[in-house]
Amino acid sequence: MNALLKSVTDWSREMLRAWDRFWFTPALPHTLALVRICGGAMLLYTHAVWSLNLNAFLGRNSWLNTKTAALLNQDASGRDYAWSYLYYINSPALLWAFHIAALVVFAMLTLGLFTRVTSVLAWAITIAYCNRLTGTLFGLDQMNAFIATYLMVGDSGGVWSLDQWIATRKLGTGILPVLAPQAGPSLRTNIAVRLLQIHMCVIYLFGGIAKMRGDTWWDGSALWYAFAQLEYQSIDMTWMVHYRWVLALLTHVTVFWETFYCFLVWPKLTRPFCLAMAVAVHLGIAIFLGMKTFGLAMIIGNLAFVYPETVRDVVGWIFRPFARASVEKVASAPQKRQSLAVAATR
Amino acid sequence: MAKFNAPADGKDVAQAGLPTWAKALISTLLLLHVAAILSTPFAFACNRGASPVAEAIRDFFLPYTGAFYFAHGYAFFAPDPGPNHLVDYQVEFSDGRPPIKGRFPDLATERPRLLYHRYFMLSEALNNRFAPPQFAPEPSPPALTASAGERERFAVTKQRYEQDKSRWQHARRQYEAMRNSIEDHLKSEYGGDSVKIVRIEHVPGDPDAVQYERTPLNAAESYREMPETMPRGTSR
């Protein structure tokens, strides 16, 4: 009995330690910063596109007026938790003013300016648009919303941000120091990245389960029926009908990968394969099924599984020529000043 | 705390020096959040809330998932990549002008692709919300000679019928509101007096027909009008 008790106690302690490691180990901000830059740009683009038909979608006589949008958000028992400030804007001028302000907030988030404030504003704006625009949304908006939510949690402006640029040049010191994001490892960043990772697993798990209930995902024809949808098609892939075994193989691989993503993405050995598959599937959706934005948003979500050290090294390697030029410029600046000073004394 | 704020290295950083009570509190919130984001897709997977357990969990978290826009099923291209839906409209004028006809989504006029997709989702949403104008007739009461058990069972059936009817009434209200709103928008857009809209279903090409008969994906027979009286789901 004592042995059983001891093993249960040991197991519980190990569980707690694992939980503690998982959630409470501070993480570097590089992964979240990359998600901020890519996700912020996606938020900016998504909302900029509404500008092309702003009044038709959000104006007084919009396709789905505010009363209808509110009703669509209600369930049968009348419950509705989908809030939005856009319900209360009737004037076209005011709508444009709020819309431009929203675009500015998304641009600031992308650039990492006042990130702690703009991430919260970006989240509120994103959710407000989603709730008001019910009936015109798809997976992209779901991705945008949850990325915006978790960007609000972590220190996404810790690196590669105007906040850091300002902080290193001490331009903003003393103005709003509490708003400066943490450049080093932080607990909030780790929690944000962990939540992003878990949410990605939830999406894929239930996406896979839903597909497993369909006949075409089992008879191998699902991918054909995806390619054969004229309304989605951006590149004609119907020639693949001559290679049905390829279509079937890709169909089966897709559904198995999607369902088991939540298990395969965690071990270090299988993670690269799992993420490579994610990139391949979502690039396929982006290129062939006309959903570039959704495909890219899913890839942005998958970035959460790339170690911050890897992100730092890869991005550093890509931008090395620029960084070197910048360093040379900075290094040559004192020499220039010195030579100017010498010239002035002559 | 010094290590917590240590310069970026990340490998030898100690775990956050938070007090145990803070970790317990954060852990509880995290567990609730994870349960919340699982609740809606779980209910969706359980036949859209048919399981009382899934329904209860989803309902519990609904204020949170609803407010944070987390209440989704994530069933992309599932259970099967099905037919797509379009909307044909005709705006009519009482002053004798010829009617204006159109269809959305329309890739030729709706650019960039994301804008086209918004119109595509609008037509899909209208179709998804369709509820027939009449609901199924009430279940017949048991015979006078029915046993107590049969009467009890009828009472439960009747209760379920009323619940379903209430859901149908709500779905019908939503569909009519959507339809009216789209018609009103088109009227105001073109200055028309009346609008007719028709839902169109476009069935994806059958692989044998495409391979052996060279049937194009936009073959006329692959489009069909969706009647307003047909019960939802019988067309597929």
Query: pLDDT per residue over B116-175, tens digit each?
Result: 999 999 999 999 999 999 888 888 888 888 889 999 999 999 999 998 999 999 999 999
pLDDT classification of B6: cutoffs 50, 70, 90: very low
Residues 137-176 of A with CB under 8 A from B: 137-142, 145-146, 149, 159
CB B231 within 8 A of CB B132: yes
Is 0.95 topped by the overall pTM?
A: no
Q: Exposed/middle/buried for B26, CB within 10 Å: 0-12, 13-18, 19+?
A: middle
Q: What is the pLDDT of residue B11?
A: 41
Q: Could you tell me which residues are beta bridge partners of residue B102?
A: B89
A282 CB neighbour count, 10 Å cutoff: 21
Is A291 within 8 Å of B72 when comparing Cβ atoms? no
Average pLDDT over residues A219-230: 95
CA dist., res. A312 & res. A30, Å (int): 6
pLDDT above 70 coverage of chain B, percent: 89
Q: What is the pLDDT of residue A332?
A: 58
**Residue A183 touches partner B, C-beta closer than 8 Å:** yes
Q: Which of B162, B103, B112 has its CA nearest to residue A292?
A: B112
Question: Predicted ipTM?
Answer: 0.90
CA dist., res. B126 & res. B179, Å (int): 7
CA dist., res. A3 & res. A5, Å (int): 5
Residue A174 in tokens: 């003393």
CA dist., res. A193 & res. A180, Å (int): 19
CA distances from A165 to A111, A161, A171 (A): 11, 6, 9
Residue A280 or B134, more confident: A280
Query: Residue A186 has what DSSP assignment?
Result: B
User: What residues in B contact A41, CB-CB < 8 Å?
Assistant: none
Query: Residue A270 has what DSSP assignment?
Result: T
Q: What is the pLDDT of residue B15?
A: 52
If phi > 0 it is left, if psi is from -120 to 50 it is alpha, else beta; for residue A52 that is: alpha
Considering only alpha carbons, which residue of chain B is nearest residue A153? Answer: B30
Q: What is the pLDDT of residue B17?
A: 79
CB A288 within 8 A of CB A233: yes
User: What residues in A contact B112, CB-CB < 8 Å?
Assistant: 49
pLDDT classification of A179: cutoffs 50, 70, 90: low
pLDDT classification of B14: cutoffs 50, 70, 90: very low
CA dist., res. B35 & res. B29, Å (int): 10
**DSSP three-state, residue A137:** coil
pLDDT classification of B68: cutoffs 50, 70, 90: very high
Distance from CA of B93 to the nearest CA of A (A): 19
**Residue B145 touches partner A, C-beta closer than 8 Å:** no
Lowest mean pLDDT among A124-138, A258-272, A275-289, B131-145: B131-145
The tens digit of pLDDT for each residue in A231-251 reads 999 999 999 999 999 999 999
Q: What is the pLDDT of residue A171?
A: 61
Exposure string for A201-236, b = 16+ CB within 10 A, e = fewer = bbbbbbbbbbbbebebbbebbbbbbbbbbbbbbeee
Q: What is the pLDDT of residue B47?
A: 76
Query: Residue B179 has what DSSP assignment?
Result: H
Residue B2 has pLDDT above 60, yes or no: no
Q: What is the pLDDT of residue A101?
A: 98
Q: What is the pLDDT of residue B4?
A: 35
In which residue are the tokens 């648009």 written? A129
Residue B204 has pLDDT above 80, yes or no: yes
Residue A312 has pLDDT above 50, yes or no: yes
Q: What is the pLDDT of residue A176?
A: 59
The tens digit of pLDDT for each residue in B187-200 reads 999 999 999 999 99
